[in-house]
Chains A and B, each alone.
Chain A
Amino acid sequence: MTQTPAANNGLLNRRWFLKAGAVAAGAAVLTPAMADGPWMTYPGQSPGPYGAPSRFAALKREQITLNPLGPGDGASCSPLQSLNGIITPNSLHFERHHSGIPDIDPEHHRLTVFGQVKNPLVFSYESLLRYPQQTKTWFLECSGNSFRNTFDEAPDLTAGEVSGLFSCAEWTGVPLHYLLDEVGAHKTASWVIAEGADASGNNRSIPMSIAQHAIIALFQNGEPIRPSQGFPMRLFVPGCEGNISIKWLRSLKLSPTPAQTREETSKYTDLLADGTAQQFSLKMEVKSVITSPSGKMQLPAKGIYPITGLAWSGQAPISSVHVSADGGKSWAAAELQTEPSPFAPVRFRIPWQWHGQPAVLQSRATDAAGNIQPTRAVALRKQSPLVIYHYNGIQSWQVDASGKVRNALI
């Protein structure tokens, strides 16, 4: 078994595990027929109405942050370091609410589409269920994701605590353009102003060029979308900052101009160093994060570990991910474990031989439009200090000689 180095400090050829596996398979032997534990000696639990994870593998959302002035204003992060594949289970999808999660009876919920249209129309939840639907595996990322790494000091955090304002689900719903056709949208209507039915009435103006790719999402990973994700219906605008995918969607106004709402002026704008601000920077950047090994983990011993993580871009499908174990001096191409597709993240991996020496693990994503994830310094240079939106700098995880992994700002 040869271990081909792919880059410095222990990065191995990405195919190495396959070769190693083929050898090990020949050595398998049958174990004697006996109980591995008490669970093999009596019947287990009966089938039940709604499942729950194993008590040995129960996961939780992290970094639950609530505004002391009003706890409905808050956020929670997906525990990225504990998940594999690309789908986030519904109970672990990140949350960002401005005035809590409304408890909406779908029978009393309506979606009104009006403004520059031939026929302003109202749609019920029941009626939308009868429309042709599409199913998409799309990521959602909060504009402020990873903001904790824009500060000068590196907080000791997990991958989820740093970058878990990011999730991915299979979303099923009605393409927005079906409704735009039905109301007869005027050609001059170059903006859609979407509004939510929560107490904050969150509203955003979305350019038609972007909105035309949106769906009215009704299902999330197969079940009706969760109240925390907008039940009974949310707008889902793929590849864009999460705030414009309005939850609890109640109205869409077609307009020749944007509404200049609070969320697109006071917030979610990018103040530049010269004191002017950019508006409507909606598409999310090319980005990646190693989810294992990652912050607060402990490598138990020297040996081979899989380095794995997620990469995504709101601009184009991911084309490649490179990994470094020496803080960016040398790089190796990682294996893509899932098929790249528009607005879907990819799971990447590469084997790594840890020799018990300090290491800095980094990943760098490239998308099909040629966008390359920048270093932290380059990503921060773009904006005014204290601006936390759209940060996509390379994440560094520092491994010390004892095997402890820590968030690092490099």
Chain B
Amino acid sequence: MRSSDTCQKNQRKTRCLLLTLLAIFLSALQSAGASAETPLGSHQIPALGVAAPANYESVVMPDGKGLPKGSGDVDSGATIYARTCASCHGSKGEKAGVPLVGGRGTLDSKNPIKTVGSYWPFATTLYDYITRAMPYGQEKSLTPNEVYAVTAYVLYLNEIIPENTTLNQENLAAVVMPNRRGFRPAKDFQPFR
């Protein structure tokens, strides 16, 4: 009985010692940052982002993705342009400083003129820029139909599309700009596609 008691006591002692050692080992691990539950001193991201709307969009891409539904033709574009754009850009997009038209064939000259017609590689850029940044002073005031129409008018002024064109989310990206092949990535540039 006695010897059994002693034995049990000894066993308990050993068990106790092992547990203590384990606890010390674990706390050492924890202070070394090895535990996934470390409350202090880690670089854990708090993950406070909340779900974004599934249909969120911010930009129009060169393949037409991101374009809203809508359409507009050259004629109605001319009317909107006269009302909201002509005061800065000139009635036919010709005003120096902010020209939208002209300059074809000048890019390799001593006086290159960069316009939508001479320089811009993608028609979708016109939609993206007008809808976010124009008209100056009344930014984001045009409806999608109005933006399609103004885009059509500016492309018509540059003789890129005929007068009877109606542009929409299906056909805008198919418009081929004169300087489409005029750009290349900078020399030291890797991930270009």
Contact = CB atoms under 8 A, between A and B. Distances in A.
A253 B57 CA distance: 8
Contact of B189 (A182, A261, A281, A386): A281
Given A123-B49, A256-B193, 18 more contacts: A72-B136, A112-B52, A119-B51, A122-B50, A128-B48, A132-B43, A201-B132, A201-B133, A253-B58, A253-B59, A265-B125, A271-B112, A277-B107, A277-B184, A278-B184, A279-B184, A384-B107, A385-B111
A114 B52 contact: yes
Given A203-B132, A207-B191, A195 B48 contact: no
B48 A123 contact: yes
Interface in B38-89: 43-52, 54, 56, 58-63, 88
B99 to A, nearest CB: 11
Interface string B105-127: 00110111010100111101100
Given A270-B186, A281-B186, A112 B108 contact: no
A72, A112, A201, A207: most-surrounded residue (chain B CB, <10 A): A201
Contacts of A48: none
Contacts of B190: 207, 209
Contacts of B125: 260-262, 265-266
Contacts of A278: 183-187
Contact of A121 (B44, B50, B58): B50
Interface of B: 43-52, 54, 56, 58-63, 88, 97-98, 107-108, 110-112, 114, 116, 119-122, 124-125, 128-129, 132-133, 136-137, 139-140, 182-193
B183 A384 contact: no
Interface string A76-107: 00000000000000000000001100000000
A386 B111 contact: yes
A219 to B, nearest CB: 18
Contacts of B132: 200-201, 203
Contacts of A156: none
A130 interface: yes
B46 A130 contact: yes
A266 B120 contact: yes
Contacts of B59: 193, 195, 203, 253, 259, 261
5 closest A-B pairs by beta carbon, nearest first, are: A121-B49, A275-B108, A201-B132, A281-B186, A127-B48
Contacts of B43: 132
